[in-house]
Amino acid sequence: MKVAVIGAGLGGLLSASILSEMGYSVEIFEKLPFIGGRFTSFKYRGYEITTGALHMIPHGSRGPLAELLRKAGAKVEIIDSNPYGTALYGGEEIDVNRRRMPLRSKVLFALLCMKNWFREVKLSELERRLDDFSAKFLRAFLGWSFSITPEQTTLTKIYPVYRSILEHGGPGVPAGGCKAVVDALVDVIRSNDCAIRKLKVSAIRKGNCGFSVYFENGDTEKFDIIISNIGHEETAKLMGIKKYVKLEPSRGIKYSISVRQPFIEHTGVLFTLNTRRISGMNQVTNADPNLGKGNFLMAHQPMLTSNVKFEISEGLKDLKELLKGYDYEILAIQSFSDGWPVNRAIAGSDSGCKTPVSGVYVVGDGAKGSDIEVDGIALGVKDTVEYIRKSL
Amino acid sequence: MIVITESCVGCATCMLVCPADAIRVEGKAEINYELCKNCKKCVLYCPLEAINFVETAG
């Protein structure tokens, strides 16, 4: 069985490594001159600045991504955060951990109410019923994890994620950052004699048996199964399908900061509660000093308006207040929206890995399972592999 | 000459790969033409094909 994987992002690489381990003949096509999509990094002024992600795996070594990496035989060390994080609230730093997970009783209470009322409860509605700390924590958590606000989602959509945190625990940092995960997957794929080619796919057409993949350079190749890592919309366009579900992306801004004195003492997330925009920060060099020179901070904010310049100016005001008294330099400001977003689909609105055409699957962002970021991607890949296995 | 188009979202991939350190990004990429050597690395690496190279006379 010949499998074509379009796009060498995390979803594509993960699918390719697992399927190649299972004995499928897999070929990966990537249009860009680098591998890893939004889950890799480039060394910039001595710091591993990511193309998107935050050098973090939401559920660390116990989550769905770690499980699939082990299954694929990819060698990645994940440093679990302890505590999961802390919350900066009114000048005080409060521990966030499994036992003292804020919101727990309140979310369950609200869920109970929801079940009784038979309706979708907007998280902003729940927020109004929470105490000030819990309400602000909810906002910061959604901003950090999904680049959304409580107004943009409902309890039923976020509840699986909440359950997953209780089940799998909090975040971890891969040693070597997200690039190390990508490199380990590439090693697995190459050791199984599967090729990763820098080639842009221009069209896919279904034939009597299998698919013809047309490339920008004029070549054509036949495959039995297509796995697309470029989202549902772009996949439909390649297939010449005019009708497809248009997903609403989430947008955010990431700041990479070098700071002379350590700002965060742990390897988890510092949720920032009394801010205009910034929802959280992590100091990734605490987990792996090789990710930067000295102390390397990453801060993230959701975009609340469509005016990027204004959003950045608000974020910078927050950083100035948060880092008051610290000697710091902003290395990079990166905004993510439209074709290179934080998420191709707002949390809870990913539209699954199946497509209207049997034999064509979408993995990666936009086809995530019910979990955060790359752990959601892992769940989507797991489903796809299962569908392919069963279809034969 | 390197030209940034409307499709730029400001992801800064071009800034990270520019060997001449000629790109600054704050919401959108901006080229410092005094430093730019027209190597076109940014054109190749831009995930959105938002950077073009335009031949200029002379």
The per-residue pLDDT for range A106-146, each reduced to its tens digit, is 666 667 676 666 677 788 888 888 889 989 999 999 999 99
Parent domain of B27: 2-53
Q: What is the per-residue pLDDT for A165?
A: 84
- DSSP-assigned letter for residue A111: H
Q: Does A349 touch chain B (CB under 8 A)?
A: no
Find chain A residues with C-beta within 8 A of B44's C-beta: 32-33
What is the number of structural domains in chain B? 1
Q: Which amino acid is at A312?
A: I
- Is B9 a domain residue? yes
Q: What is the per-residue pLDDT for A131?
A: 86
Q: CA-based diameter of chain A, in Å? A: 68
What is the rounded CA–CA span in Å between residue A19 and residue A5? Answer: 11
Phi, psi of A359 (to 5 degrees): 100, -10
Find chain B residues with C-beta within 8 A of A335's C-beta: 9-11, 27
Find chain B residues with C-beta within 8 A of A342's C-beta: none
- Is B32 a domain residue? yes
A263 close to A297: Cβ distance less than 8 angstroms: yes
pLDDT band at A8 (very low <50, low <70, confident <90, very high): very high
* Nearest-by-Cβ selection for A308 from B10, B16, B44: B10
Handedness of CA A253, A256, A262, A267 (dihedral sign): positive
Residue from A4, A22, A11 nearest A224 by CA: A4
Mutate which: A319, A334, A336, A365, vs B, most B CBs within 10 A: A334
β-pair partners for A228: A6, A362
Q: Which residue has the tokens 């970021």?
A: A373
A19 close to A26: Cβ distance less than 8 angstroms: yes
R_g over Cα of chain A: 21
* Nearest-by-Cβ selection for B16 from A42, A309, A333: A42
Q: Does A42 touch chain B (CB under 8 A)?
A: yes
A277 close to A309: Cβ distance less than 8 angstroms: no
Give the DSSP letter string of A53-103: S-S-BTTGGGSHHHHHHHHHT----EEE-SSSEEEEETTEEEEE-STT-TT
What is the rounded CA–CA span in Å between residue A92 and residue A86? Answer: 10
What is the rounded CA–CA span in Å between residue A277 and residue A312? Answer: 9
Q: Which residue has the tokens 């979708």?
A: A120
Find chain B residues with C-beta within 8 A of A33's C-beta: 44-45
Q: Which amino acid is at A175?
A: A
Q: Does A305 touch chain B (CB under 8 A)?
A: no
Among chain A residues, the shortest Cα distance to B14 is held by A51
- Chain B residues 1-58 within an 8 A CB cutoff of chain A: 7, 9-13, 15-17, 25-28, 44-45, 47-48
Helix and strand element counts for chain B (H, E): 2, 4
CA–CA distances in Å: residue A204 to residues A20, A216, A381: 22, 12, 21
What is the rounded CA–CA span in Å between residue A33 and residue A56? Answer: 24
- Is B27 a domain residue? yes
Q: Could you give the angle at the alpha carbon of A261 between the alpha carbons of A147 and A88, nearest 5°?
A: 40
- DSSP-assigned letter for residue A264: -
Task: Give how far B58 is from chain A: nearest CA, Å.
Answer: 30
Find chain B residues with C-beta within 8 A of A7's C-beta: none
- Is B39 a domain residue? yes
Element (H, E) at A17: helix A10-21
pLDDT band at A304 (very low <50, low <70, confident <90, very high): very high
What is the rounded CA–CA span in Å between residue A285 and residue A308? Answer: 28
- Is B19 a domain residue? yes
Q: Which amino acid is at B11?
A: C
CA–CA distances in Å: residue B5 to residues A200, B20, B31, B50: 21, 20, 12, 5
Domain boundary assignment for chain A: 2-79+176-246+348-390
Return the higher-pLDDT residue of B58 and A339: A339
Instruction: For the domain covering A2-79+176-246+348-390, report its CATH number.
Output: 3.50.50.60
Find chain B residues with C-beta within 8 A of A52's C-beta: 11
Residue from A125, A58, A126, A44 nearest A347 by CA: A58
Q: B25, A339: Cβ pair inside 8 Å?
A: no
Segment A257-275, tens digit of pLDDT: 999 999 999 999 999 999 9
Task: Give how far B55 is from chain A: nearest CA, Å.
Answer: 23
- Is B58 a domain residue? no
CA–CA distances in Å: residue A262 to residues A133, A284, A289: 25, 11, 12
- Is B10 a domain residue? yes
Element (H, E) at A120: none
pLDDT band at A2 (very low <50, low <70, confident <90, very high): very high
Residue from A252, A302, A257, A297 nearest A277 by CA: A302
Q: What is the per-residue pLDDT for A109?
A: 66
Lowest mean pLDDT among A43-47, A343-347, B20-24, B29-33: A343-347
Q: A338, B9: Cβ pair inside 8 Å?
A: yes
Lowest mean pLDDT among A94-98, A336-340, A343-347, A365-369: A94-98
- DSSP-assigned letter for residue A248: P
Angle between helices A104-117 and A155-168 (to 10 degrees): 140
